[in-house]
Amino acid sequence: MSPGQHPPRHHLTWAELWPSVRAGLAVVLLFAAGIWLARDFAAPITEALAVHAVLGMAVFFASAVVAVLLPMLSNLPLMPLAVLAWGPWWSAGLLLSGWVVGAMLAFAFGRHARALILRHFPSVQRHAQIDRLMLSRHRWWSLVLLRMTFPVDVLSYALGLFSARTTAVENAGSTAVGAAPFALLFALFPTLSGTAQWTVLAASLLVFVLYVVWLLRDPADAADTGGT
C-alpha cells in the first residue's frame, strides 16, 4: 500500500452486527416499558423522587456508569422516570455524563486489565480489528460514527483492548459527541405526543436500516459502482 492510500474499509457481516442490533432492540423494549410505568404511576413516582431528589440523581448517574461497565445492564428504563422528576435537560445531562464516565473507565480497564476482561467477556474479541473501521485522515469522525453505531460499553472496551492509536481523550470526547444525540432523544422522547413518538420511531428505524445496509455492503461492490 502506497503512503497516499487508505486501508480498505472492513466488510462487516450480519454475524458481527447482530449482537449490537439485538442489544438495541432490547433497550428499546425496556425504554418503552419505562414510558408505560411513568405514565401509569406518575403521581407516586414524582412524589417519591421529589423527596429524595439528590439521592435519585446520584443513583441515576451511577446506574448510567454501571450500565456501560456491565454490558448486560441498561438504565434506560429509568429514563422516563427521570424525565418525569427532573425534566428532559437535566435527565439528558445526567445520562450523558454517566455514559462518558463509564466509557472512560471501560477504556482504562481495557488498557490495564486485558486478561481479566477477555476472560469474563470473550465476545469482545470479535472487535479485535476495530482500527480497520476508522479512516486514518478522519479518525475523530470515524470514532464519533462508531459511537452512533456500536453500544457505548462494547466500543469503549474494544478501543481500550485493541486500538493502540486511540487515546483516552479521543475516547471520552467521541463518547460525549457521538452519544449526545441519543441522550437527548431518550430524554425528549417521553415528552412528545403519541403521534410524534411514532414518527420519531419510524424515522429512526429507517435511518438505522439504511446505515446497516451500508455497513453490510461489500467494499468491492462499492468500488465497482463508485466510478474509476
Distance in angstroms (rounded) separating the CA atoms of residues 110 and 160: 4
Buried b (16+ CB within 10 A) or exposed e, 170-190: bbbbbbbebbbebbbebbbbb
Residue 162 has pLDDT above 50, yes or no: yes
- The pLDDT value given to residue 119: 83
Q: Outline where the chain has alpha helix (H).
A: 14-40, 42-51, 53-69, 79-86, 88-112, 114-120, 139-147, 152-162, 168-188, 194-216, 219-225
- The pLDDT value given to residue 9: 47
pLDDT in tens, 77-91: 888 888 888 899 999
More confident residue, 190 or 12: 190
Mean per-residue pLDDT over the chain, rounded: 77
- The pLDDT value given to residue 222: 45
Confidence class for position 22, pLDDT limits 50, 70, 90: low
Torsion from C-alpha of 166, 171, 174, 177, nearest 10 degrees: -170
More confident residue, 37 or 219: 37
Distance in angstroms (rounded) separating the CA atoms of residues 7 and 5: 7
HSE-CB of 217 using CA atoms within 13 angstroms: 17
Q: Are 97 and 64 in contact (CB under 8 A)?
A: yes
pLDDT in tens, 29-40: 766 766 766 676
Average pLDDT (135-156) is 80
pLDDT in tens, 94-112: 999 999 999 999 999 989 9
Average pLDDT (107-121) is 86
Distance in angstroms (rounded) separating the CA atoms of residues 66 and 61: 9
Residue 203 has pLDDT above 70, yes or no: yes
- The pLDDT value given to residue 224: 47
Residue 113 has pLDDT above 50, yes or no: yes
What cell numbers appear for 124 in the block? 469482545
- Cα-based distances in Å from 190 to 92, 111, 121, 205: 12, 37, 33, 17
Distance in angstroms (rounded) separating the CA atoms of residues 186 and 197: 11
Distance in angstroms (rounded) separating the CA atoms of residues 95 and 63: 9
